Amino acid sequence: MKTKDIKVGERFRRKLGNIELLAQLIKEEGLLYPILVDKDGNLIDGQRRLVALKQLGIEETEVLIYEAA
């Protein structure tokens, strides 16, 4: 999924912490756990990872799509 297409709504977390370190880890190790979105592309989990990917200039990423039962 294109990172620009992931919709980020209101979030509980206000401070994202050290995104530079996370971006460096993603650059070295790759994304260890995909971002979680719903079927409409709304972010459920992974805001820090998404910000780090965008900071690295990564335009596409693997996502997990959550489908409520």
**Per-residue model confidence as pLDDT tens digits over 53-67:** 999 999 999 999 998
pTM value > 0.85: yes
Helix (H) or strand (E) holding 43: strand 43-45
Model confidence pLDDT, tens digit, residues 3-21: 999 999 988 778 999 999 9
- Structure tokens that stand for 59 in this block: 């335009």
Q: Which CATH class is domain 3-66?
A: alpha beta
Q: Look at residue 14 in the predicted model and tell me its pLDDT.
A: 82
- Structure tokens that stand for 22 in this block: 């996370």
Q: Is the pLDDT of residue 69 over 80?
A: no
Strand 43-45 to 35-38 pairing? antiparallel
Give which of 57, 51, 63 is closest to 22, Cα–Cα. 51
Q: What is the mean pLDDT of the chain?
A: 95
| ∠ CA 31-37-39, rounded to 5° | 135
